[in-house]
Amino acid sequence: MHTISNKQIAIVGGGPGGLTLARLLQQEGASVRVYERDLHKDVRVQGATLDLHEESGLKALEHAGLMDAFKANYRPGADKMRIVDQHAHILMDEQGSEATGAFRPEIDRGPLRKILLESLQPGTVVWDSQLSSLEKADGRWLLQFRNGSTATADLVVAADGANSRIRPLITEAKPFYSGITVVEGAVYHVATALPYIDQLLNGGKVFALDGVRSLIVSTKGDGSLAFYTGCRTDADWVKDSGIDFADKDQVLAWFRDEFKDWDPLWQELIVNAETPLMPRPQYCMPPDQTWTAQADLTMLGDAAHVMPPYAGEGVNMAMLDALELSECLCDERYTDTGAAISAYENSMRQRIAETATLTLEQTEALHSAGAAQHMLNLFNDLPGQA
């Protein structure tokens, strides 16, 4: 008998982690609802292509019975990588897993979300449900949403991201600023809007580095690209800068100043970007955090362990969280949900401490002298590399 038998489970957040958990729990017969703040399933999913790893993201999809769907939707060749300097001179041209024999598949966020959504029972996801409060009522959780609706649940899982409203109910630990702020943008119809950058990308990703700043550009299957500038700033730079990130002229003026010794071709990213661009100060939860497990409340993904994106582990860790949490909740060795959640959280914290430390080291290295050589060394150490 599962610890979650006859319990109503609420997952707050419909990202890859939350949807993977819903799928895995439904496979075990659990009663699950996912509450997602997006208005509907067809909202455009932002962000760069995802690199799913065999020991985490792909492992979760395998257990969810979704590998066939994944293989029908991933993008062969999208894991090709070029490292360039600020003048777009190519320092490394890595031809991807098809050339090396290592399987490092990439998939766009939209198709991944579609695969997960279509695997769920009808009505599982309740759209337009942005959480405003969570409190106990008659021994159960009462969820209240900004649209005025409410729901109740016996067990709540926070999958609501870096700015989780639920995390403070679990731990007093707060994320700290990593020192790096990203400005994220998207350009559509890249082949016609940015032909030179499109050629440089060659269907994959480009890391442009100068030892202080970074610029990561990634193709997507719909003919668009996503890009992320990375700069050292104060924690309050977004507010203190006075930049209106919906005003392209203001963002371009900042970029021309901040990246003034870079080739002007990179400015075309800003010129052709959709507005608003999104500034994102990069935060990380303390690697050594701990808390006391609760019997009816837990968290996964960025809600539990937000970290900068420079090691490519965020979505992978969220999906592995989902797998490990589902396995603990459905493991008959645990006599109650409190024991199951405690086992999951202890394992998750231990795993994340190592990943967060590695991610912070990577973030520092990519914005320090020798950044390009650091990246070259990383790729030379990959399986299948000469």
Question: Residue 12: pLDDT band by 50, 70, 90 thresholds?
Answer: very high
The larger pLDDT score, comparing residue 379 to residue 102, is at 379
Question: Residue 340: pLDDT band by 50, 70, 90 thresholds?
Answer: very high
pLDDT of residue 97: 53
- Residue 95 is classified by DSSP as -
pLDDT of residue 3: 80
Average pLDDT over residues 46-51: 80
Helix axes 314-329, 337-365, angle to 10 degrees: 170
The larger pLDDT score, comparing residue 97 to residue 85, is at 85
pLDDT of residue 49: 83
pLDDT digits (tens, 9 = 90+) for 348-367: 999 999 898 988 999 999 99
Query: What global pTM score does this model have?
Result: 0.93
Question: Residue 382: pLDDT band by 50, 70, 90 thresholds?
Answer: low
Q: What percent of the chain has pLDDT over 70?
A: 95
Q: Is 79 annotated as a binding residue?
A: no
Phi and psi at 176, nearest 5°, equal -110, 155
pLDDT of residue 218: 93
Identify whether 198 is part of a domain. Answer: no
Question: Sign (positive/negative) of CA torsion 115, 121, 124, 125?
Answer: positive
Q: Is 51 annotated as a binding residue?
A: yes
Q: Please count the structural domains in the chain.
A: 1
Question: Residue 96: pLDDT band by 50, 70, 90 thresholds?
Answer: low
Identify whether 131 is part of a domain. Answer: yes
End-to-end CA distance of the chain: 51
pLDDT of residue 102: 56
Identify whether 157 is part of a domain. Answer: yes
Identify whether 94 is part of a domain. Answer: no
pLDDT of residue 44: 74
Average pLDDT over residues 244-267: 97
Given a cut of 70, is residue 167 above it in pLDDT? yes
* Residue ranges making up the domain that contains 163: 8-75+107-174+286-365
pLDDT of residue 105: 86
Identify whether 63 is part of a domain. Answer: yes
DSSP assignments along 135-162, one per residue: EEETTEEEEEETTS-EEEESEEEE---T
pLDDT of residue 386: 37
Identify whether 146 is part of a domain. Answer: yes
Cis previous bond, 276, omega within 30? yes
Q: Is 44 annotated as a binding residue?
A: yes
pLDDT digits (tens, 9 = 90+) for 111-143: 999 999 999 999 999 999 999 999 999 999 999
Identify whether 277 is part of a domain. Answer: no
335: domain CATH number is 3.50.50.60
pLDDT of residue 262: 97
pLDDT of residue 314: 87
Given a cut of 50, is residue 144 above it in pLDDT? yes
Q: Which of 48-62, 123-137, 297-311 has the highest mean pLDDT?
A: 123-137
pLDDT of residue 94: 78
Identify whether 252 is part of a domain. Answer: no
What average pLDDT does the chain have? 92
